[in-house]
């Protein structure tokens, strides 16, 4: 099964990224707050992409409040730096992304159309799944986005399976699979870790540790709260990353993608992040204090950090950033308008897409 991808070797491959190499010290010692130096363009891009997710999610929350979105709606506010930082190292439309139900941000980062995403949230014809999937279940073959999974942990072996397909074909695409701290306790995650390392599958396991699984804090559900160690038994290299700093996420993702593309097998990133909103819309969030949330927002906000650097470096003025916000709001408003005026799917759609 251990088919090596016939990937061309990169010239700037890190020392550890040679086929069969041992992970470096930094990778074994899982505390990594190293950051990538961002150019002005990178800072501006990160700012824009994170702001788009935030404004989109705020709007989704509002549409939910108006009864336009039903069922569950899991917002990504606070975690924006995770997908944005990782996506900066991926090839859009070639590398695969798979995640849980908390998926709106991932789809926007993959380059999916905000109108199509929002229209799926409202269950309309123009949604990515024609309104049949809903907020938890969206897919885009074009953008290589493989869902949107409602069953906690189920996306993990699926992401590894996509990596198997890459390896089988001999291309050097990587599959990135995101899952939560809660999902990290599911048995199928460890079955997948074993096979991924055994077969050297080019998959990056991104554990989005936002400290809570619904109302359960990490320490109440996990015997080993250091998720970067979860791959130790399988010898999978892992890093713990500051997920509120998009530069740190990008730097780690660079090492991880390099490692995977050059045929070394899987890589684990435990990205430490935080969700500001409730688990879903009707979560009264009594399991944490308001102060805890406020402190995170005030001191660690991923968007605010970039904003401050842009201003401090003289790379943007307040007015420049206001203009970015205005553009982003226009995109989101257009998405919301579309999602609330687009018709529901035709009733004949009830019976389509069950078998090919």
Ligand X SMILES: Cc1ncc(C[n+]2csc(CCOP(=O)(O)OP(=O)(O)O)c2C)c(N)n1
Distance in angstroms (rounded) separating the CA atoms of residues 31 and 270: 10
Q: How far apart are CA 294 and CA 311, in angstroms?
A: 23
CB of 76 to ligand X, least distance (A): 8
Closer to other proteins by Cβ: residue 134 or 231:
134
* Segment interacting with other proteins (CB under 8 A) among 57-65, 90-98, 250-258, 265-273: 57-65
Binding residues for other proteins restricted to 252-281, rule: CB under 8 A: 276, 278, 281
| Separation between Cα atoms, residue 146 and residue 157, nearest integer Å | 12
- How near is the Cβ of 128 to Mg ion at its closest, in Å? 24
Cβ proximity to other proteins, 15 vs 354, nearer residue? 354
The reply to whether 72 sits near other proteins by the rule CB under 8 A is: yes
Whole-number Å distance between alpha carbons of 234 and 323: 48
- Closer of 95 and 181 to Mg ion (Cβ): 181
Q: How far is the CB of 203 from ligand X (least distance, A)?
A: 18
347 with 341: CB under 8 angstroms? no
Structure-block tokens of residue 324: 């970015």
Q: Which of 116, 180, 243, 345 binds ligand X (CB under 6 A)?
A: 180
Per CB under 8 A, the list member of 169, 220, 295, 308 interacting with other proteins is 220
In the chain, count of helices (H) and strands (E)? 12, 8
Sheet arrangement for strand 203-209:
145-149, 96-100, 175-180, 203-209, 267-272, 238-242
In which element (H, E) is residue 292 found?
Answer: helix 290-300
How is residue 16 written in tokens? 């550890």
**Of 158-166, 208-216, 257-265, 313-321, which segment contacts ligand X by CB under 6 A?**
208-216
58 burial (CB, 10 Å; 0-12 / 13-18 / 19+) is middle
β-bridge partners, 175: 96, 203
The number of residues that bind Mg ion (CB under 5 A) is: 4
SS3 content of the chain, % helix, strand, coil (to 5): 45, 10, 45
Site for other proteins in 110-169 (CB under 8 A): 120, 122-124, 129-137, 149-153
Q: Which residue is nearest to ligand X (CB)?
A: 180
Q: Are 57 and 76 spatial neighbours (Cβ–Cβ below 8 Å)?
A: yes
Angstrom distance (rounded) from CA 93 to CA 37:
26
Cβ proximity to other proteins, 100 vs 264, nearer residue: 100
How far is Cα 252 from Cα 272, in angstroms, rounded to an integer? 12
Window contacting ligand X (CB under 6 A); options: 60-68, 178-186, 293-301, 327-335: 178-186
Q: Which 132-161 residues touch ligand X, going by CB under 6 A? A: 150-152
Our finding on whether 250 is near other proteins (CB under 8 A) is no
Site string for Mg ion, 47-86 (x = CB under 5 A): ----------------------------------------
Distance from C-alpha of 152 to C-alpha of 272, rounded to nearest angstrom: 19
Q: Which residues contact 68 (CB under 8 A, 6 or more apart)?
A: 122, 339, 340
Interface pick for ligand X out of 44, 162, 213, 228 (rule CB under 6 A):
213
Residue 74: CB minimum distance to ligand X, A: 6
Is the Cβ of residue 255 or residue 277 nearer to other proteins in the bound state?
277
* Residues 135, 137: Cα–Cα separation, whole Å: 6
Return phi, psi of residue 204, to 5°. Answer: -105, 120
Q: Does position 91 bind other proteins by CB under 8 A?
A: no
Binding site for other proteins (CB under 8 A): 54-55, 58-59, 61-62, 64-68, 70-72, 77, 120, 122-124, 129-137, 149-153, 182-183, 185-187, 213-216, 220-222, 276, 278, 281-282, 284, 286-287, 297, 326, 329-330, 333, 336-337, 340-341, 343-345, 347, 349-351, 354
Which residues here bind ligand X, judged by CB under 6 A? 100, 102, 150-152, 180-183, 210, 212-214, 279
């Amino acid at each position: 099964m251990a088919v090596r991808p016939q990937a061309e070797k990169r010239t700037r491959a890190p020392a550890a990224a040679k086929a069969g190499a041992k992970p470096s010290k930094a990778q074994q010692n899982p505390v990594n707050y190293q950051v990538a130096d961002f150019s002005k363009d990178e800072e501006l891009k990160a700012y824009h992409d994170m702001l788009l997710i935030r404004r989109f999610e705020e709007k989704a929350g509002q549409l939910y409040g108006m009864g336009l979105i039903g069922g569950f709606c899991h917002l990504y506010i606070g975690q924006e730096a995770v997908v944005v930082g990782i996506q900066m190292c991926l090839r859009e439309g070639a590398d695969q992304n798979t995640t849980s139900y908390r998926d709106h941000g991932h789809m926007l980062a993959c380059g999916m159309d905000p109108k199509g995403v929002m229209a799926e949230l409202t269950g309309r014809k123009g949604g990515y799944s024609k309104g049949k999937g809903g907020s938890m279940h969206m897919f885009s073959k074009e953008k290589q986005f493989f869902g949107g999974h409602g069953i906690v942990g189920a996306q993990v072996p699926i992401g590894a399976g996509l990596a198997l397909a890459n390896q089988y074909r001999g291309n050097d695409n990587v599959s990135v699979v995101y899952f939560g701290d809660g999902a990290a306790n599911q048995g199928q995650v460890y079955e997948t870790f074993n096979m991924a390392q055994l077969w050297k599958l080019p998959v990056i396991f991104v554990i989005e540790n936002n400290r809570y699984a619904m109302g359960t804090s990490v320490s109440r559900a996990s015997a080993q709260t250091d998720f970067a160690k979860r791959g130790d038994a399988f010898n999978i290299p892992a890093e713990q990353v500051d997920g509120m700093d998009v530069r740190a996420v990008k730097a780690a993702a660079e090492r991880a993608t390099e490692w995977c593309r050059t045929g070394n097998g899987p890589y684990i990133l435990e990205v430490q992040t935080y969700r500001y909103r409730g688990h879903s819309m009707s979560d009264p969030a009594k399991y944490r204090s308001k102060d805890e949330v406020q402190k995170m927002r005030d001191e660690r906000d991923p968007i605010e950090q970039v904003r401050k650097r842009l201003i401090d470096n003289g790379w943007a003025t307040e007015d420049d950033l206001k203009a970015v916000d205005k553009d982003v709001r226009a995109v989101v408003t257009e998405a919301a308008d579309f999602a609330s005026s687009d018709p529901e799917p035709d009733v004949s759609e009830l019976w389509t897409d069950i078998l090919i």
